[in-house]
Amino acid sequence: DTGASVVELLRAMREAGYDLGSASIPGLDTEHSDDLIHAIIAAGGQDPDWLTEEQMEASPHRIPAETYRRWFATLPDELRTEVVEAWGEAPGELYVHDDTIYLAALEFGNVLVMVQPPRGFGENPVAIYHDPDLAPSHHYLAAYRWLREPAANGGFGAHLVCHVGKHGNMEWLPGKNVGLSAECGPDAAIGDLPLIYPFLVNDPGEGSQAKRRAHAVLVDHLI
């Protein structure tokens, strides 16, 4: 499962010398991968039915609405119009508390484990994963922009992102199929941040989508 995959990735990174901090890492130090998932849920997760204001207030990973508005203003006009039509004016209402956008994440040294922002909501959230028309939400754009912005600009300053789990939703955001521009959803989200993507070897079609629309470097693995 995804939890076990993330734990194995963290273990390999620590053995390779990456700084994962000195605190105990759920799942890695307890040998139960579900502990990592439960820790993320305890931190708030991204289920609006269970997320509380207290969890959002306690999270260290938050983006002031004014910071996001500044980032949002740099996007192309056409994309901004589509986002506002779908989700209202920035910063929207999803995962927002006290004019601050909340992110579900756990930080270990220089490594951040974050739940990918939701693509769909309502009765059938999975169906929206492949929607070619629905613009990404403010929360979605804010999360990825925060990842790649340096700390001096209010972001995390990641050097790269590793998507774990097949498949995610960024490569299915609206926009062109090839030769993406700044107005396309995937490009607006990931920008030029390097993306590594361990991917199931028997699904080359969806793997190609991640390569073609999100400049992912695929690392194939067996089923």
- Contacts of residue 158, defined as CB under 8 A and 6 or more positions apart, other chains included, come to 112, 147, 148, 193
Per-residue b or e along 55-75, where b marks 16 or more CB atoms closer than 10 Å to that residue's CB: bbeebebbbebebbeebbeeb
Average pLDDT, the chain: 90
Structure tokens that stand for 213 in this block = 């629309």
| Residue-wise pLDDT tens digits, 18-41 | 999 999 999 998 889 899 989 988
| Residue-wise pLDDT tens digits, 63-110 | 999 999 999 999 999 999 999 999 999 999 989 999 999 998 999 999
- The confidence score (pLDDT) of residue 125 equals 65
- The confidence score (pLDDT) of residue 128 equals 72
| pLDDT > 60? residue 205 | yes
Q: How many helices (H) and strands (E) does the chain have?
A: 8, 8
Give percent above pLDDT 70 in the chain.
95
- The confidence score (pLDDT) of residue 129 equals 67
pLDDT band at 127 (very low <50, low <70, confident <90, very high): low
The reported pTM is 0.93
